[in-house]
Amino acid sequence: MHPFEEDIKKCVSVLEAGGVVLYPTDTVWGLGCDATNAAAVSKIFTIKKRADSKAMIVLVTGERDILQYTASVDLSLFDYLETTTRPTSVIYEHGIGFADNLTAADGSIAIRICGDEFCRALIKRFGKPIVSTSANISGEATPAHFNAISDTIKKQADFVVHHRRNDQTPHQPSSIIRWKDGEVEVIR
């Protein structure tokens, strides 16, 4: 079996069991779990030593997923996203079907349509949105590539993906925006 496929298969098994994976995304390496599983989300907060009041980003594969997991989306947002060159996470006002401890206190959720081949394959095979938060302790620098991730983080993940471990290309986190009345507000 191809290593890429082995990684996907193992990740799906870990995600289905409520575990945490360390995986490459279209931005930085991330800690991921089932975005609908509150216990799995709690594990990530614990690993990152992060307050559970701080929301995390969720990855999906397309516009249809956005429409399924949010309420009242301004469709002009999708036109805007087609013009962006940097991966862009959008804060949606009303997340639907996510773990309660994943959405912000006001019910909002940050979601990114992921273009990365590995992530898209993983999300499609898993069949649900996946949490994606940078692979670092909260407050520490975001690792630009796999070798910059601390051993503490690597040891706490239930599975560490092999795909792209040797990629030394520095990556940056996504931009984060809010879309309101046809206008973009840049958060990061």
Which tens digit of pLDDT belongs to each residue from 104-118? 999 999 999 999 999
For the chain, percent of residues with pLDDT exceeding 90:
89
Task: Domain count for the chain, please give it.
Answer: 1
pLDDT score for 172 = 86
Question: For the chain, how far is it from start to end, CA to CA, in angstroms?
Answer: 40
Higher pLDDT among residues 99 and 172, named by residue: 99
Q: Residue 72: what pLDDT?
A: 84
Cα-based distances in Å from 129 to 44, 68, 122, 132? 15, 11, 10, 9
Q: What is the pLDDT of residues 127-155, one digit of tens each?
A: 999 999 999 999 999 998 999 999 999 99
**Residue-range definition of the domain harbouring residue 178:** 3-186
Q: Are 172 and 146 in contact (CB under 8 A)?
A: no
pLDDT greater than 70 at residue 1: no
**Mean residue pLDDT across the chain:** 94
CATH code: domain of residue 16: 3.90.870.10
Cα 63 to Cα 11, 55, 74, 115, 136, distances in angstroms: 23, 21, 12, 12, 29
Residue 53 has pLDDT above 80, yes or no: no
132: its two tokens: 């994606």
Answer yes or no: is pLDDT of 61 > 80.
yes
pLDDT attached to residue 87: 96
Nearest to 178 by CA among 64, 94, 122, 117: 94
Q: What percentage of the chain carries pLDDT values higher than 70? A: 99
Tell me the backbone φ, ψ of residue 56, rounded to 5 degrees.
-120, 160
Cα within 13 Å of Cα(153), Cβ side: 27
pLDDT greater at residue 54 or residue 132: 132
Residue 51's pLDDT is: 83
